Structure 1
Amino acid sequence: MTRSDWGERLFVALQYLLPQRLLSELMHRLSRLRWRPLRRLLIHGFARQYDIDMQQAAEPDLDAYPHFNAFFTRALRAEARPLDPDPRALLCPVDGAISQIGRIEDGRLIQAKGQDYAVDTLLGLDPGAPHPFEGGHFVTIYLSPRDYHRIHMPLTGRLLEMTHVPGALFSVNAATANRVPGLFARNERLVTRFETTAGELAQVLVGAIFVGGIETVWSGVVTPPHRLGPPNRLDYREAAPVELARGAEMGRFNLGSTVVVLLPRGRLDWETGLAPGQTVRLGQRLGTLAD
């Protein structure tokens, strides 16, 4: 076993021992403190450490942000992420790196080499419950701390339901994905399902340790608190419609995490050359809707 293998094993083992929810809620509070010396230390230090290009931000002045979370979830200039103009293009919903991409087979998605997990569990459904994604398409995109952390719509959609699924808060980096079984269906997550021209689309926002908050544009903050218990499902079919255009913001993370996008069978052709590890950006074409 290599030194790298031992390092990964130790990193993952420590996560089982850490008070994940407590640390995440402390990070949520820390990231919203307005004390100027601490705020400047966090924001300037982070921007320097991760070489953040503030010329892409709608507000380029680091000192204009009232707290670290405002800086971390900063808006970009409209022209910084042009959208593919083809209405048949499935847009990338975030900046990040592809973790996995492909087909859903036998009700399971690939997590990493030698690791997979069930779609029904990811969606917060009972085992074996019906869903429209069997044999369909999926892409998992990891957002590192340096990435833009607002999540946008891959297609124009009408919200059908939103489900908050309580769970663990493991890291979602590659080392953890390699070694924690069912990671993305194990961590706390927010499942959103939309009606689109390609059929039903699911966009799953997966939480992680130190991700102090997940929120949507229609309901505001969903987490914290990071509670235990069964999934909490809200049906929007009979409510006032929530309709979002392709490329529109639908939610955001505080600190890095992962987005999983699901589409039904036969509704999409992936772009040639997309593969795990590839960097992607909001608005670029990930695939083309089938005729």
Structure 2
Amino acid sequence: MPNKKIHITYMLKDTFFLYSQKILPQTLLSRLVGKLANCQQHHIKETLIKLAIKRFQINLDDALLQNIRDYKSFNDFFTRKLKPESRPINHDSKAIISPADGKITQAAKIDLGRVIQAKGKYFTVDALTAKTHTTNYTDFAVIYLAPKDYHRVHMPIDGTLTRMSYIPGKLFSVNELTAQNIDNLFAKNERLICYFDTDIGEIAVIFVGAMLVAGIETVWHKMVAPNYYNSIQHFDYQGQNIHFRKGDEIGLFNFGSTIITLFPENKIAFNDNLSEIKMGQKIAQIK
């Protein structure tokens, strides 16, 4: 009987969490969180940092700044830089590295233009990119960044930025529970798609917005999201020679979210048994 009660309690919590996301003002909440996260008042920012460290079991051993007083705001803490030696880059010329810390929830083939979201749920590449892609992608990886993770995003392979598309959308949570229950989740949420020309062809690195994500930034554009545009926006960088080496930082999340990477036709093979990963570690091999 106790186990049955616990199961029912969890079911009710899950149902409430999913329902609340549909009725809450997602954008307003995210912007309010953004303002609070950027507050530089000494007591507020340190209280928030201490709560986050305790709640999410955040380890500061790898952080460049280990004294919380040295952070200008909670956001400054959440997007903290790490000691360079804490994330060694796999420099094997055939290695594709993880662009972020997190959990690889999917790393697989794209089947007839469909991408796996969770068991029994799919979305299409066309829906994900709003048909802004020009390449036939056949492989993808989805990396979920939990609040405890390092929140900066890096290049998985040497490449030159060619264009970027911002697609406005919802701000559902991107955790496992939501992915299993909200159809077309990643194609519904706000997202920023960065296209790069590489030795294996065009790849896409996609920043997916989420509930309470206070912003998505890139090193070349700075703040892009959340919901600062009401329609799809395209940015052309052809001829600007914005080049990145494997492991170079390209952007960040101002809270946890998801990175999706798309790779061109039959150019890579993913490692087996991918799960928890650190930025810089090998996730795939160039064929």
TM-score grouping bracket, smaller chain normalisation: over 0.9
1:92: which partner in 2? 98
Q: Please report the RMSD computed on the Cα atoms of aligned residues, expressed in angstroms.
A: 1.5
Q: Please give the per-residue CA displacement for 1:138-182, whole angstroms capped at 9, x wherever unaligned.
A: 000000000000000000110111111000000000010011110
2:82: which partner in 1? 76
Determine if contact 1:164/1:232 at 8 Å carries over to the other structure. Answer: yes
1:16: which partner in 2? 22
- Which letter does structure 1 place at the counterpart of 2:208? V
Deviation at 1:269, TM superposition (A): 1.1
Alpha-carbon separation, structure 2, partners of 1:39 and 1:133: 45
1:232: which partner in 2? 233
- Which letter does structure 2 place at the counterpart of 1:258? T
Alpha-carbon separation, structure 1, partners of 2:107 and 2:272: 12
Alpha-carbon separation, structure 2, partners of 1:133 and 1:281: 28
Q: Please give the per-residue CA displacement for 1:215-250, whole angstroms capped at 9, x wherever unaligned.
A: 0001111024x1463310111114x22111100000
- Which letter does structure 1 place at the counterpart of 2:233? N
- Which letter does structure 2 place at the counterpart of 1:252? L
Alpha-carbon separation, structure 2, partners of 1:51 and 1:178: 25
Q: Please give the per-residue CA displacement for 1:112-162, whole angstroms capped at 9, x wherever unaligned.
A: 011100101111227xxx63234x110000000000000000001101111
Deviation at 1:59, TM superposition (A): 1.1
2:150: which partner in 1? 148
- Which letter does structure 1 place at the counterpart of 2:235? L
Please give the residue correspondences for 1:129-148 in structure 2 after superposition, counting only pairs within 5 Å.
Answer: 131-134=134-137, 136-148=138-150
Alpha-carbon separation, structure 1, partners of 2:11 and 2:286: 40
2:261: which partner in 1? 261
What secondary structure does 2:220 align onto?
coil
5+ residue gaps in structure 2?
none
2:58: which partner in 1? 52
2:175: which partner in 1? 173
Does residue 245 (structure 1) correspond to residue 245 (structure 2)? The answer is yes
Q: So what's the TM-score if we normalise by structure 1?
A: 0.93
5+ residue gaps in structure 1?
none
Deviation at 1:53, TM superposition (A): 1.8
What secondary structure does 1:90 align onto?
strand
Provide closer, same or farther for how the CA distance between residues 5 and 101 of structure 1 changes in structure 2, counting only shifts above 3 A: farther
Q: So what's the TM-score if we normalise by structure 2?
A: 0.94
Question: Of residues 129, 134, 137 in structure 2, which corresponds to 1:123?
Answer: 129
Deviation at 1:273, TM superposition (A): 2.0
Provide closer, same or farther for how the CA distance between residues 257 and 241 of structure 1 changes in structure 2, counting only shifts above 3 A: same
2:216: which partner in 1? 214
Question: Of residues 158, 161, 178 in structure 1, which corresponds to 2:160?
Answer: 158
> Which one is further off, 54-63 or 199-208?
54-63
What secondary structure does 2:117 align onto?
strand
Of all paired residues, the percent bearing the same amino acid is 38
Runs of 4+ in 1 over 3 A off after TM superposition: 4-7
What secondary structure does 2:61 align onto?
helix
Question: Of residues 270, 279, 282 in structure 2, which corresponds to 1:282?
Answer: 279
- Which letter does structure 2 place at the counterpart of 1:133? N
Alpha-carbon separation, structure 1, partners of 2:60 and 2:245: 26
Alpha-carbon separation, structure 1, partners of 2:259 and 2:65: 25
Residue-pair matches, total: 281
Alpha-carbon separation, structure 2, partners of 1:8 and 1:174: 11
Alpha-carbon separation, structure 2, partners of 1:44 and 1:7: 26
Deviation at 1:101, TM superposition (A): 1.3
Alpha-carbon separation, structure 2, partners of 1:40 and 1:6: 34
> Which one is further off, 194-203 or 229-238?
229-238
What secondary structure does 1:56 align onto?
coil
Q: Please give the per-residue CA displacement for 1:33-90, whole angstroms capped at 9, x wherever unaligned.
A: 0111111101122112222221201111111001000000000000000011212100
Alpha-carbon separation, structure 2, partners of 1:11 and 1:133: 36
